Structure 1
Amino acid sequence: MIKTRFAPSPTGYLHIGGVRTALYSWLFARRHGGQFVLRIEDTDRERSTEESVNAILEGMAWLGLDYDEGPFYQTHRFARYQEVIQQLLDSGHAYYCYATKEELDQLRAKQEARGEKPRYDRRYRDFTGTPPQGVDPVVRFKNPLDGEVVIDDLVKGRVVIRNEELDDLIIARSDGTPTYNLTVVVDDWDMGITHVIRGDDHLNNTPRQINILKALGAPLPKYAHIPMVLGPDGKRLSKRHGAVSVLQYKEQGYLPEALLNYLVRLGWSHGDQEIFTVDEMIEYFSLDAVNNAPSTFNEEKCLWVNQQHIQRSSGAHLARHLAPFMAERNCDLEQGPDLAEVAALLRERSRTLVEMADQAIYFYQDFDAYDEAAAKKHLRPVALEPLKLLRDRLAELGEWTAEAIHGVIQSVAQTLEVGMGKVGMPLRVALTGQGQSPSIDQVAALLGKDKSLARLDRAIEYVTQRAQAQG
């Protein structure tokens, strides 16, 4: 069975680039009926925080990237790592290195002076003498001195690294704590990971990890190293490029499936299709179609994808995601129409849920003032007659539907022999406080009869006072 994993370090927010890695791993597992594991690589105790762990878990939950196992924490597995380190020592695949920092600094300086690439010279690799006093040794892996490591990468293709290019890396620090390359090998082995899908910044670690796995007699997973996500300036995506934390996109009103859709297309394609449901992503995803070149994050394109998803979503789905934004705006959803109906009405006009929430406020709250430009243009004394006639005829309506309201607007325009805009626009400002809204008959239908008539009364009073002020 195929088994993939996502293994973030909790040293900050859940990064957009990390989410794409998680998504590819999740899609590959789901596509093949496999399992997806979440592992928290928290061995960097100085930088790892509980807040970052929570941000990872919250981000994964919001995105719907459910995991079959985990979260596993590396800090809970130290006894297992010590066991494996001892196994490597006992089998002759690792050794204690007593080189001090001063010794290594001198070695590096001499190598650099000779124009050589700085690297450990294996001085304790075959040491059998008496260990120097007062030195807490590190443990180094005894990397093979000849031969080569061949990686048949599922994205990069065949990668060959000569063992002589690799040094004897540290697998346990002087305080006994394991290093990244050791812990990741043990975890992938113990957890039965069959496919390691990760960023190509890890490619240089892969030959080292393969050699450790071979020394342990462990099966080798297949590797897929996916290219970086870059900012518009061509540099690795980071905070300087704006919002890169997944939870920032949640706060900015993105739908989770829209963000996933945008990220899956950063380096993967299926024909010319741009918009995908999550089910379509699972059905079509393959590592064969992952591009080997870096992708550039484009905020405007991401926003466009979000807009497309909003327009294609049901009112009920939008309402579930919209409700928290309405709560932030102190809107009591019991004091207005069904939020699903409001969302369905506003979806063609909204790029984000934040924009939708801002447009929806007047359905649940009375506004304090009219938009100045809209009132100046449409709530003039000349609007008084259309507003009064509208108010009277709407009050007589037995069936409060958009169609019936539209009929009233039409009949008032015919009676007064004016264009529909001379009736509809004053009504729009009266009901919404703004100069723009969806079709005003639909807005009025959702607002309800009582609220619509009350707002018309207020507008009539406003126009009357304005006419009196003008004398």
Structure 2
Amino acid sequence: MAIRVRFAPSPTGSLHLGNALSAVANRSFADSRAGVLVLRIDDTDPARVVAGGEDAILADLDWLGVGWEEGPLRQSDRSGMYAEALERALANGAVHDPDGSVRLAGTTLARADGSATYQLATVADDLDLGITHVIRGSDHRPNEEVHRRIATALGGELPEVIHHGLLLGDDGKKLSKRAQHSSVADLREEGIPAVAVRAYLDELGLPRHDVHLDLGRIHRLAIDAIASMPDEDLAAAADAPLELVRALRGARTLVEAGEIARQIVSPAPVELGSDARPTLERFAELRRSGPESLDEEGARAIVRELKAVGASLRVLRLALTGAERGPELWTVVAAVPRDEALSRVAAAITPR
């Protein structure tokens, strides 16, 4: 039997991580069984459709590396098929309410205007598309028996259903888009690399029980991801010159990598006191005798020499970057060309 699964978000904007977990779980399930993933946009409820919501979802899936073989199919384009399904349901126990809606065992299948509800549309779609496994969060567990009855009324059989645990927020409740750092867009804007978010979701797999969102784990994965990014990719992500990549490797996010790059390329001017002069003059002596560009060994040697004579590395960092904190100092020394470095330390100890 060919395995066919589906991911069926509503077009309400960027995916929160709980929905992203379902997307990755479906993709992984299909991949491990040479199966097919169908992307379906569940837009039967106009009140929940957000302008640009579908585009945001497609962008999130692309960013996470979640592809699909079929779709996106939109429920709003399938009203004819739902009308046919409704006729079958009416022939097998569904009834009209006085207001014109249609119900089956207490479940509304169609509104008074004849449009299909989520309950009818999702089951009709799963049957029509030949879905073999429905993989979704355990908050949908109450729907399983309802959907089984609807499938029977439509003359079919509900696919195998696999419920996974939910991602919970700090409050112990199901993660929602209102929670801070909970959406794919939030993490992307914070500078978390896509590979780190995907790795976290892959680690969760199909959790049997609810799990709390572990932002600490995501941030640790982000540091690892940045450390292993190809030079060209990291430079592009940080909007930095390629020669600064060594200084960006210790960044915790891509946003921070960009900030480090700006510190080195365009440092804030500083004016240091006379106590900074010995450090900066010794640095200038060491740097003046070296090449225009330093390799790692040469940059580390300068930092070691400054430590050995009791120089203030904080002072040197301020003179070169205008900031008190940043990447390992040797990476900064290596990133700033000789003449530029000499100019910066001279400016830092020259009264303005």
Bin for the TM-score computed over the shorter chain: 0.7 to 0.9
Aligned pair 1:445/2:334, yes or no? Answer: yes
Q: State the secondary structure of the residue aligned to 1:19.
A: helix
Cα distance change on mapping 1:369 and 1:408 into 2, 3 Å: closer
Q: 2:318 aligned to 429, 435, 447, which one?
A: 429
How large is the RMSD of aligned CA atoms in angstroms?
Answer: 2.6
Deviation at 1:64, TM superposition (A): 1.5
Quote the residue 2:172 is aligned against. Answer: 234
Quote the residue 2:248 is aligned against. Answer: 346
Contact 1:199 1:225 in 2 (8 A): yes
Q: State the secondary structure of the residue aligned to 1:308.
A: helix
Q: State the secondary structure of the residue aligned to 1:72.
A: strand
Aligned pair 1:359/2:260, yes or no? Answer: yes
For 1:398-417, list aligned pairs within 5 A.
398=291, 400-402=293-295, 403-407=297-301
Matched letter for residue 250 of structure 1: R
Alignment partners' CA distance in 2, 1:386 and 1:307:
32
Q: 2:127 aligned to 189, 192, 195, which one?
A: 189
Cα distance change on mapping 1:19 and 1:420 into 2, 3 Å: farther
Deviation at 1:243, TM superposition (A): 2.5
Cα distance change on mapping 1:399 and 1:47 into 2, 3 Å: closer
Cα distance change on mapping 1:76 and 1:431 into 2, 3 Å: same
Cα distance change on mapping 1:75 and 1:444 into 2, 3 Å: same
For 1:179-328, list aligned pairs within 5 A.
179-239=117-177, 241-266=179-204, 268=205, 290-323=206-239
Quote the residue 1:3 is aligned against. Answer: 4
Q: Report the more deviating stretch, 193-202 or 360-369.
A: 360-369
Alignment partners' CA distance in 2, 1:424 and 1:174:
74
Flag the structure with more relative contact order, 1 or 2, with Cα contacts below 8 A and sequence separation at least 6: 2
Matched letter for residue 400 of structure 1: S
Cα deviation per residue 1:20-75 (whole Å; 9 max; x = unaligned)? 11111111112222221211101111221222222212211221211221111100
Q: State the secondary structure of the residue aligned to 2:135.
A: strand
Deviation at 1:11, TM superposition (A): 3.1
Unaligned runs of 5+ residues in structure 2 are none
Cα distance change on mapping 1:245 and 1:438 into 2, 3 Å: closer
Matched letter for residue 345 of structure 1: A
Aligned pair 1:368/2:269, yes or no? Answer: yes
Cα distance change on mapping 1:227 and 1:384 into 2, 3 Å: closer
Matched letter for residue 248 of structure 2: L
Aligned pair 1:456/2:345, yes or no? Answer: yes
Alignment partners' CA distance in 2, 1:69 and 1:369:
58
Q: Which has the larger radius of gyration?
A: 1
Alignment partners' CA distance in 1, 2:19 and 2:66:
12
Deviation at 1:262, TM superposition (A): 2.4
Contact 2:270 2:319 in 1 (8 A): no
Deviation at 1:450, TM superposition (A): 3.0
Cα distance change on mapping 1:446 and 1:44 into 2, 3 Å: same
Contact 1:430 1:456 in 2 (8 A): yes
- Structure 1 stretches of 4+ with a deviation exceeding 6 A read none
Q: Report the more deviating stretch, 176-185 or 11-20.
A: 11-20
Cα distance change on mapping 1:419 and 1:293 into 2, 3 Å: same
Alignment partners' CA distance in 1, 2:326 and 2:36:
47
Which TM-score applies when normalising by structure 1? 0.67
Cα deviation per residue 1:111-140 (whole Å; 9 max; x = unaligned)? xxxxxxxxxxxxxxxxxxxxxxxxx42223
Contact 1:255 1:321 in 2 (8 A): no
Quote the residue 2:103 is aligned against. Answer: 140
Cα distance change on mapping 1:183 and 1:356 into 2, 3 Å: same
Q: How many pairs does the alignment contain?
A: 350
Alignment partners' CA distance in 2, 1:342 and 1:360:
7
Quote the residue 1:93 is aligned against. Answer: 92
Contact 1:322 1:353 in 2 (8 A): yes
Which TM-score applies when normalising by structure 2? 0.88
Contact 1:394 1:405 in 2 (8 A): no
Q: Report the more deviating stretch, 44-53 or 237-246.
A: 237-246
Aligned pair 1:387/2:275, yes or no? Answer: no
Cα distance change on mapping 1:54 and 1:408 into 2, 3 Å: closer
Alignment partners' CA distance in 1, 2:95 and 2:279:
92
Q: Report the more deviating stretch, 239-248 or 40-49.
A: 239-248
* Percentage of pairs with the same residue: 34
